Amino acid sequence: MILSNSPALAPLSLLLAAIVIPMVAFRRRWLAFPIALCASAFATGISVVNLVRVLSEGVIHYHFGGWIPPIGIEYVLDPLSAFVTLVVNAVSLLVLVHAHRSVAAELPDRSMPYYAVVMLMLTGFNGIILTGDFFNLYVFLEISSLALYGMIAVGNKKSPVAAFRYLIMGTVGGSFYLLGVGFVYMTTGSLNMADIAKIAPTLYHQPALVAALGLMVVGLGIKMAIFPLHGWLPDAYTYAPSASSALIAPVGAKVGVYAIIRVIFYVFGVDFVRHSLPLTDILAWLGAIAIVYGSVLAIAQKEMKRMLAYSSVAQIGYIGLGIGLANPYGIIGAVLHVMNHALMKACLFLVAGNFRLKLGHSTIPRLDHRVRKRMPWTTAAFTVGALSMVGVPPTVGFFSKWYLALGTIQNGRWLFLAALLVSSLLNAVYFFRVLEKVYMKPLEGDVPDDGDTALAEAPGSMLIPTLVLGIALLLLGLFNAVIVTGIITRIVPPGM
């Protein structure tokens, strides 16, 4: 029973938690967190089962209500969706463990609705990844976006404004996507992705379908925060509570990335895209610009969360570049970077959360060597995360860059290669700036070594997820070939 329904169980368990939390934890608020944690852990477990099943059995289709597509809605478990769900759920689980203390500290009287909304967001993410239906994807997109607006709005004084701007942008994105879906439906008469994938390649002369592709990619591009559409991201990540930014930054934009990969390569197909629009070229150029632009702006930031936000813009650029290269190495690099960036950003945002809890701020100029003395493990995790962002082997960050570099060379795009490499240096600039601060005594002015005895290592529930992520960065880097050959090479879409 569990096995036959396993594709749907991850989003369903999360949705169940989202429903049960307001009912059960209405009076007993402390129950909210355990329920959320259980649901998230269950979803992660199911994702593992799903991945194993997909790798051994091939693609699994799950028909809701027993209705056969294209009439019914189906969930499709293929290597790509199984892999991305696992990444999303596993990272969220770790961040959720970490979030308990920071939510208790930052949102003491709103923890119950907060966890419910988090569960709703994760439901949305899982749904987006798993669904095989265009309209269903829209619904989940909006469910997750609504949850995101709420999660951002409970931050500091400025957060509602950030959330409002995100809401306007996000709604425009969602509406563009929906309009695209309308065009697709009008042209093909179907909403099922597999069904459209059969029809679309023959229709690349149809302007309506080409418009649909463009609209969908722009719409999803806003949600993914790809370069000129990234305006909402920095404020949203900065002003949101630590727990929210740590949950949203690693996985939020990735879901948009996933949807774009799905739409471009699996539904419309490489041939369609090549014949109709210079879409992949545009994506690649925007990605390359984003890489440089995001990195440069990250250098200028004082607040660590804002720095990480701009670095996210750059990192999403990597993924966009990989997609835009539209060759196997590019896709491998992009999909691997989805995982890598999720891990790196989660690790770094958790560190920022630890700083916020223990120091009360995460402003870079105010950090000093006491941080390293009192919080050695957190600092160690930050170092690993930073090295991975710079792309030092054997951390994961190096390997996605390696595949992306191979992709650029295969297409003979030397400028993109240069952008990739230059951004590594820029990353080094802004991360070593922080590392210098935390590892060395301030040059001018003597900071008393003791005094602030309250400063200590973060509590175990926050430290362990941070360290797990740090170790994962190293181990997955060393064993990335297992993932690449076992999973990601099977993702490379047909027609490449």
Q: Which of residues 23-82 bind another protein (CB under 8 A)?
A: 23, 26, 62-66
Check binding of 203 to another protein (CB under 8 A): no
484 lies in the binding site for another protein (CB under 8 A)? yes
Piece of the chain touching another protein by CB under 8 A; list 7-15, 30-38, 199-207, 315-323: 7-15
Residues in binding contact with another protein, number by CB under 8 A = 82
Radius of gyration of the chain (CA): 22
Residue with tokens 């709420």, as numbered in its chain: 150
Query: Cα separation of 296 and 244, whole Å?
Result: 25
In which residue are the tokens 């969602």 written?
Answer: 174
Under rule CB under 8 A, residue 20 binds another protein: yes
Residue number, 232 or 273, with CB nearest to another protein: 232
C-beta of residue 228 within 8 angstroms of C-beta of residue 291: no
- CA atoms of 103 and 29, how far apart (whole Å): 13
Token output for 58: 């091939």
Candidates 198, 214, 368, 424: give the one binding another protein (CB under 8 A): 424
Would you mind telling me the total number of residues written for the chain in this entry? Answer: 496
Considering the complex, what minimum distance in angstroms separates the CB of residue 328 from another protein? 11
| Shortest spacing between CB 121 and another protein, in angstroms | 12
370 binds another protein (CB under 8 A): no
Closer by beta carbon to another protein, 225 or else 384:
384
Rounded (5°) CA angle 277-335-39: 120
Is residue 195 within the footprint of another protein (CB under 8 A)?
no
Are the CB atoms for 428 and 391 separated by under 8 Å? no
Member of 52, 278, 415, 441 binding another protein (CB under 8 A):
441
Residue 213 tokens, joined: 């592709």
Interacting residue with another protein among 105, 203, 405, 474 (CB under 8 A): 405
**Which of 22, 207, 365, 460 touches another protein (CB under 8 A)?**
22
Stretch 137-176 residues interacting with another protein (CB under 8 A):
138-139, 142, 145-146, 149-150, 153-154, 157-158, 160-161, 163-164, 167-168, 171-172, 174-175
Give the interface segment with another protein, choosing from 32-40, 246-254, 278-286, 440-448 (CB under 8 A).
Answer: 440-448
Least Å distance, CB 161 to another protein, is: 6
Q: Which amino acid is at 98?
A: H
For the packed helices 328-359 and 242-261, what is the interaxial angle rounded to 10 degrees?
A: 170
Q: What angle do CA 439, 443, 446 make, to 5 degrees?
A: 95
Among 409, 455, 464, 474, binds another protein (CB under 8 A): 409
* Exposed/middle/buried for residue 308 (C-beta within 10 Å: 0-12, 13-18, 19+): buried
Tell me if the bond preceding 376 is cis, omega within 30° of 0.
no
Positions 101 through 140 that interact with another protein (CB under 8 A): 110, 113-114, 116-117, 135, 138-139
Question: Residues 193, 199, 205, 211: what is their CA dihedral angle, to the nearest 10 degrees?
Answer: -20
Closest distance between another protein and the C-beta of residue 20, in Å? 7
* Segment (H or E) for 39: helix 32-57
Question: Which is closer to another protein, CB of 436 or CB of 452?
Answer: 436
Out of 479, 494, 495, 496, name the contact with another protein by CB under 8 A.
Answer: 479
User: Judged by CB under 8 A, does residue 461 bind another protein?
Assistant: no
402 binds another protein (CB under 8 A): yes
Residue 139 or 194: which CB sits closer to another protein? 139
Q: Please, which residues have CB within 8 angstroms of residue 426's CB and are 6 or more apart in sequence?
A: 292, 295, 296, 298, 299, 314
Whether 21 contacts 115, CB under 8 Å: yes
Q: Least Å distance between CB 220 and another protein?
A: 16
- Bridge pairing between strands 60-63 and 74-77: antiparallel
Range in contact with another protein (rule: CB under 8 A) among 2-10, 29-37, 307-315, 351-359? 2-10
- As a whole number of angstroms, the distance between CA 162 and CA 235 comes to 6
Neighbours of 211 (CB within 10 A): 17
**167, containing H or E segment:** helix 159-188
Q: How far is the CB of 191 from another protein (least distance, A)?
A: 8
Stretch of 20-28, 41-49, 90-98, 274-282 lying at the interface with another protein (CB under 8 A): 20-28
Of 392, 455, 464, 474, the one binding another protein by CB under 8 A: 392
**CB nearer to another protein: pick between 94 and 245:** 245
Neighbours of 139 (CB within 10 A): 17
The span of 31-39, 195-203, 260-268, 424-432 binding another protein (CB under 8 A) equals 424-432
For the bound state, the minimum distance from the C-beta of residue 303 to another protein, rounded and expressed in Å, comes to 9
CA angle 90, 46, 469 (to 5 degrees): 15
Where does this chain touch another protein (CB under 8 A) — which range of 8-16, 241-249, 256-264, 285-293? Answer: 8-16
- For residue 330, give both structure tokens: 């590019």
